[in-house]
């Protein structure tokens, strides 16, 4: 899956292209970004890896270790609401 994001910064903007895919029990994302601030430009490359867990097993483990699940967010990193039919990632907000 290829995606593109662009965000306004107080003095510029950041443009980010990323490629996401599953590799074994991991979800990998390669980020290729450009930050522009005034007349300066910075480039970066990042690799993000997430382990893939069964949601049921993860939730049981959280509860067994004393965590309370306060909220489950959806696929993006902007804390959207979780939608069981559309969200391919879950972000858990927990309290101990």
pLDDT of residue 88: 77
- Tell me the C-alpha distance between 74 and 83, whole Å: 6
Q: How does pLDDT run across 57-72, given as a tens digit for each residue? A: 999 999 999 999 999 9
pLDDT of residue 13: 95
Architecture of the structural domain at 1-52: Single Sheet (2.20)
| Spatial contact of 15 and 34, defined as CB atoms under 8 Å apart | yes
**Annotated domain spans of the chain:** 1-52, 53-96
Reported as a pLDDT band with limits 50, 70 and 90, residue 89 is: confident
pLDDT of residue 77: 62
Q: How does pLDDT run across 23-50, given as a tens digit for each residue? A: 999 989 899 999 999 999 999 999 989 8
């Amino acid at each position: 899956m290829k995606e593109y994001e662009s965000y306004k910064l107080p003095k510029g903007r950041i443009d980010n292209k990323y490629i996401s895919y599953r590799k074994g029990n991991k979800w990998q994302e390669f980020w290729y970004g450009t930050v522009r601030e005034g007349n300066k430009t910075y480039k970066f490359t990042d690799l993000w890896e997430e382990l893939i867990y069964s949601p049921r097993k993860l939730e049981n483990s959280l509860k067994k270790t004393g965590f309370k699940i306060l909220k489950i967010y959806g696929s993006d990193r902007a804390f959207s609401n979780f939608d069981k039919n559309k969200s391919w990632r879950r972000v858990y907000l927990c309290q101990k």
